[in-house]
Structure 1
């Protein structure tokens, strides 16, 4: 209020530099000339100028670049790209809902208004837009009839809304019409006006001439409502009233926000002062021990479940978790499919809930793995020669193939599971620190101590995961080193469905014998012999003969089976299928045992040590560090806290000054609005 002459400040990179009006004008013109020489003639960085002036309202004015009307065609592609970039920049500035948009148009037909088209992308109903038609003095002579002037000065809502009349709520109800005399203010030879007062007189004169010219064209006097929308002075009055209304509406809500900000800053300042008073080594050690126990309790709380931390900020969906912690992929790098959805896949989880979801995905994906297909060449290579005979043991062959496949396929998933669960537990460190900070239990400024705690936690997680993974690998190796039929309980049942199905498809002894003879690879002979047996079984008149024939057929079938499984190396289709069924059964037994044991071991030897082993280990490490006096750097912390104290004291003064200013503004506006 005491500034009779305007004080101007140029703000650049958070620095203020006082400038005269002429210096500001020279600076802006120099920037414009610089941009003209650039390939792109505009810049997103703002020129920020602050004014202190008795007659200047307290507001922020953002002057956006002029829109470019680029002609069509491929030859004008650079100009079209520049136009799109300018429009994007302007829309970004208009996006804030608190801003009032001053839309300046230079058209004679409201249906062709290009600037308003862009403005309506940010403000579709024009509810925060003041529409101004400039160069009104040159527009008036273009109207040959009064109806044309009436239509231009009283445009229908449909014309302003681009054909849509419904929902248009233009500030002021209608456009403003302004004219500015041509010529600049200055003392050089090119300036038309020597002083600002001369320019203001010319503006007022031009405004009166516009009113008289409009009255002449429409052949009537303008109404008070029409007069309130003609001229720079009337536009200024409207904007000042609008600004006052905005202040009256917003200041009552701003003052409580400033009070809250002042309380927060004051509390932070008191906390820093308390930190400075407690910079004693014994006190610091006691605080470090308290922080250590609080940190351990927060880890346990995260594992058990909590809502103290924001899932939106700290949680991860399953897709995010796979990106950062790795997915379960096969040997070709493809993500394993899942039969059905993983529970809570789209929820943002952390801590114990996220650990449980990862284990559920491991069970679903790895537990559903199938044995890779085995070709005939692999089976023949697995047969080999025994140390006392050259017969074939197909049970051994199936075991050799199954354990080799199981070890090759399953072991990589242990590494993937360990990496994923390590990622989940490591994420608990920043979350627990945030929770401690939110509850006022944080060791502010003691970065060396915090790094020691964080390093101990990360090292423990890594070491525990490596130890647990080693146990799981040993278990897998023992499972795949020796097949225990009682352990792999699926193995003695896998052949039954297969043989039952084969028996159902067989028709009598002939078909059974023919099927078994496929084991030897001599199907033709078996079928011929089998046919004779069938004839003796079904065609004989005596029942005893039939029974004898059936027993003989069973004996011959048994001999054929023994010949195929003990001596023959000619793998027929049926024998290959039986071996494949055995391999699949052994693989699935190993897989199921692997999944159950991996989950059990990671729960017992990776997750639980974080609760029952890590606290004591952390206590031991911190106490050992206390003995060496290499945890707290008192001098560095003191310097940091004193600098922080200075910043907070300056912030308190700034908020108090701002609060007093808004209280004063609110009082003045309230008194002014109450005066009739």
Structure 2
């Protein structure tokens, strides 16, 4: 076995010869139709030359006078004249009956993986390139006939998985289209019908300006087809920058994501197409390197080679392009180097603009183009091309290499596919049993029992979430305060701007849910409302609030302050009550998906009964809305009573501010008295001074409408004192009412509310609650799909089991095979022969160690008994074809140890 990444490991000769030897060993000499040893040696020599002899033979035959030109390489991988292929088994044809069995099994495996969205897939060739790289044209050349939608722009909008199968009896292509109903059905179509279907699907997606990652699965049988599975992907788009090309940029991103998703499938061989004469321009490789950094499962192809050759002026340039150095192209590329292909332009048809009248004419043109490229290269290099160089030039050589490479991957993956299919079969069987049981349980009594059990578990989850739990991940169900503002609304002032608290809200950056989020919302409400200041009082506000009394024309500034304060408080605090109710309703509603997640995590969710689950969710949402509305009404009543009648003991708050306004400072009186004495004025007594101040106060406050600055200050201070008292009362009252009339009913009263609602719904119409008709239809569809899946899986499983048993018998239960099977059972796969060998060595050492320990333990336990075997017992002798390490319990169903 060559080291990973070596050129010998991936050379065309090595990939072909090893696969043939494996087939001969597994299926016997007769299965590969080898007539004698001499013919086998000639076959091996022809393969090692990798196309040189075929080219010379074809050149001689075409040069012979009077000989009709025949496309040699279309005779399925051998230099055999196509006219001599009568459909019988030819000893010179490599792809024999055993190979057809192997390919057919993998073709069905790929179809099943695409239909039922399985986590595995079969090896396939994934064609990746830009729009103008000639992807679809190369695929047609590999197939030997034209069928695809080829042209400028984005023509391919869905990947096309083409399962090509060599059928010597199919003179014309036989096309089978897999249905998109996920039931494994296929329709046989004519070639024009298949073309019309693909073009129609592309036009539909083009009108929607979209792409679809699901493959169009096509099976084609043809006497000129290789045994290949090729997936043609949409062409990558190089969109120009700028807002003008935003639509094209969006399409480019969609295509890139689709192609990346396909390339990350480890079983796919990537066929990377480059349309460039300089290997430093990695247009397509740039994207491929993201999925395959070392290009170990990537075949690089330079397309439109016939247009590249005239661009080179010196032979050194041609040598550089044919043999790129490691600094330009990764030396670990699959195949050891790039391939070069040329496909002639023109379509097949009878129209005036058609260049080829038949597919035979088209195939001859492809072969002529290949020979012309070789002749032109030899002329420019002034030397003959080596067999290694000829093995990389032309569609026929690429086709031959891909066919052998894919066959080798098929053989390598057989040990891993069998246990994977067994595991998927067990999963599908379990799902089918559950579906059948659910169908049997669709009766009224059982549905009622299931419904009651479910909503009882649901009622247990709501208090658990409110009280606090770590069973649900906060990164999924939690919300930071910023996200809560976006989804549940923020507190805003009268101008519509968000209110910012003077102090930071605790746990603002944490992702909370349930009771923790509820407490944070109340804390934010308290901080924001306590920071709200009374709006300033103007002279106009005071004058308009004074008015005229019914029995005198004096002014009562105390009443004026009360009127202004309660009006300001009502218009300021009422919106906050609405905003808090909406916020808490949002927080409560978010507990519903958390509860459903917890029930699903515990396996108690009712799958398939979406109507019933919506009924539960709708009842919960209605209860939350009713409690929030009721709580808001109680808060409004409290706000109305607080702002309708002013109780001085409740609303006055701190009287120190008012006293400071009404009473002048003592230092101010002393300064005025000293000034009067120094001026020689008469000094009034204290009694006269008090009477004078009282007179001034009465004149300014009781009947003087000419407001002075002291009057405005007094009224403003009174308003602020009353506003502050109302604010403190509202904060405490609102928080108390939401706790008593919203939170507590959610924990205590919702149980009876939900039970009554659901029992009433059960009595009125059980079908409307569970939608039995739709559920039964969905379950029947699921059962039909699972039965179809199991039927296909059992059919494929039997094929792979047969192939695996023959390979296992021929390889003598090699440790590599055992290691591959064990890795597949554990959910992993081998993607290289080197990894398989290392795992095999570990398996050998582990088996040897376990065996020695077992022997020592047996000797210690049974040494005291009779050293001779018991009468009637038979000593166990291992089978000559089965080693002790090969009796893995994972493969017991495939290779039983005891035979009847």
Q: TM-score range by the shorter chain?
A: 0.7 to 0.9
1:441 aligned counterpart, secondary structure: coil
2:188 aligned counterpart, secondary structure: strand
Aligned counterpart, 1:51: 219
What is the TM-score with the length of structure 1 in the denominator?
A: 0.76
Please tell me whether the aligned partners of residues 465 and 515 of structure 2 are also in contact (alpha carbons under 8 angstroms).
Answer: yes
Query: Could you tell me how far 1:323 is from its partner in structure 2?
Result: 3.9
Please tell me whether the aligned partners of residues 652 and 721 of structure 2 are also in contact (alpha carbons under 8 angstroms).
Answer: no
Deviations 1:127-182 (A, max 9, x none): 5564432333453354342222223334456667xxxxxx9986656533223456
Give 1:205-284 correspondences, 5 Å limit.
Answer: 207=370, 210-211=373-374, 213-219=376-382, 226-227=389-390, 229-236=392-399, 239=402, 262=425, 264-284=427-447
Do the aligned partners of residues 106 and 597 (structure 1) sit closer, same or farther apart at CA in structure 2, a change above 3 Å counting?
A: same
Q: Residue 584 in 1 paired to residue 720 in 2?
A: yes
Q: Residue 9 in 1 paired to residue 180 in 2?
A: no
Aligned counterpart, 1:397: 560
What is the TM-score with the length of structure 2 in the denominator?
A: 0.59
Please tell me whether the aligned partners of residues 468 and 515 of structure 2 are also in contact (alpha carbons under 8 angstroms).
Answer: yes
Q: Residue 151 in 1 paired to residue 320 in 2?
A: yes
Deviations 1:536-564 (A, max 9, x none): 45789xxxx99x86786566445534443
Q: Residue 485 in 1 paired to residue 625 in 2?
A: no
Aligned counterpart, 1:362: 525
Do the aligned partners of residues 388 and 205 (structure 1) sit closer, same or farther apart at CA in structure 2, a change above 3 Å counting?
A: closer
Please tell me whether the aligned partners of residues 272 and 288 of structure 2 are also in contact (alpha carbons under 8 angstroms).
Answer: no
Do the aligned partners of residues 144 and 110 (structure 1) sit closer, same or farther apart at CA in structure 2, a change above 3 Å counting?
A: same
Give 1:138-177 correspondences, 5 Å limit.
Answer: 138-155=307-324, 174-177=337-340
1:606 to 742, 745, 749: 742
Rounded to whole Å, the distance in 1 between the matches of 2:336 and 2:729 is: 77
Deviations 1:465-523 (A, max 9, x none): 222111111111121122233334634244367689x85xx963387xxxxxxxxxxxx
Query: Could you tell me how far 1:644 is from its partner in structure 2?
Result: 3.7
2:231 aligned counterpart, secondary structure: coil
User: Which range is displaced more, 227-236 or 587-596?
Assistant: 227-236
Deviations 1:89-123 (A, max 9, x none): 54344333426654434444556x5xx43663675
1:469 to 605, 627, 632: 632
Rounded to whole Å, the distance in 2 between the matches of 1:384 and 1:314 is: 57
1:132 aligned counterpart, secondary structure: strand
Q: Residue 535 in 1 paired to residue 675 in 2?
A: yes
Do the aligned partners of residues 387 and 247 (structure 1) sit closer, same or farther apart at CA in structure 2, a change above 3 Å counting?
A: farther
Please tell me whether the aligned partners of residues 351 and 425 of structure 1 are also in contact (alpha carbons under 8 angstroms).
Answer: yes
Query: Could you tell me how far 1:365 is from its partner in structure 2?
Result: 2.4
Give 1:289-304 correspondences, 5 Å limit.
Answer: 289-304=452-467
1:490 aligned counterpart, secondary structure: coil
Rounded to whole Å, the distance in 2 between the matches of 1:255 and 1:560 is: 107
Give me the CA root mean square deviation: 4.8
Q: Residue 645 in 1 paired to residue 810 in 2?
A: no
Query: Could you tell me how far 1:568 is from its partner in structure 2?
Result: 2.8
2:305 to 128, 132, 136: 136
Deviations 1:366-398 (A, max 9, x none): 332222222211111222345665443333322
List gaps (5 residues or longer) in structure 2: 1-99, 102-164, 168-172, 809-815, 818-831, 838-900
**Number of matched pairs:** 630
Please tell me whether the aligned partners of residues 501 and 528 of structure 2 are also in contact (alpha carbons under 8 angstroms).
Answer: yes
1:487 aligned counterpart, secondary structure: helix
1:560 to 696, 715, 723: 696
List gaps (5 residues or longer) in structure 1: 161-166, 512-529
2:492 aligned counterpart, secondary structure: coil
Do the aligned partners of residues 66 and 498 (structure 1) sit closer, same or farther apart at CA in structure 2, a change above 3 Å counting?
A: same
Query: Could you tell me how far 1:27 is from its partner in structure 2?
Result: 5.8
Give 1:652-667 correspondences, 5 Å limit.
Answer: 652-654=790-792
Please tell me whether the aligned partners of residues 631 and 741 of structure 2 are also in contact (alpha carbons under 8 angstroms).
Answer: yes
Do the aligned partners of residues 289 and 89 (structure 1) sit closer, same or farther apart at CA in structure 2, a change above 3 Å counting?
A: closer
1:62 to 233, 236, 242: 233
Do the aligned partners of residues 177 and 621 (structure 1) sit closer, same or farther apart at CA in structure 2, a change above 3 Å counting?
A: closer
Q: Residue 325 in 1 paired to residue 488 in 2?
A: yes
Please tell me whether the aligned partners of residues 537 and 550 of structure 1 are also in contact (alpha carbons under 8 angstroms).
Answer: no
User: Which range is displaced more, 240-249 or 326-335?
Assistant: 240-249
Structure showing the higher helix proportion among its residues: 1
1:432 aligned counterpart, secondary structure: helix
Aligned counterpart, 1:352: 515
Rounded to whole Å, the distance in 1 between the matches of 2:632 and 2:271 is: 66
Please tell me whether the aligned partners of residues 274 and 283 of structure 2 are also in contact (alpha carbons under 8 angstroms).
Answer: no
Aligned counterpart, 2:137: none
Rounded to whole Å, the distance in 1 between the matches of 2:589 and 2:530 is: 26
Please tell me whether the aligned partners of residues 418 and 804 of structure 2 are also in contact (alpha carbons under 8 angstroms).
Answer: no
Q: Residue 508 in 1 paired to residue 657 in 2?
A: no
Do the aligned partners of residues 58 and 665 (structure 1) sit closer, same or farther apart at CA in structure 2, a change above 3 Å counting?
A: farther
Rounded to whole Å, the distance in 2 between the matches of 1:466 and 1:82 is: 47
Query: Could you tell me how far 1:598 is from its partner in structure 2?
Result: 0.8
Aligned counterpart, 1:572: 708
Rounded to whole Å, the distance in 2 between the matches of 1:493 and 1:219 is: 110
Aligned counterpart, 1:515: none
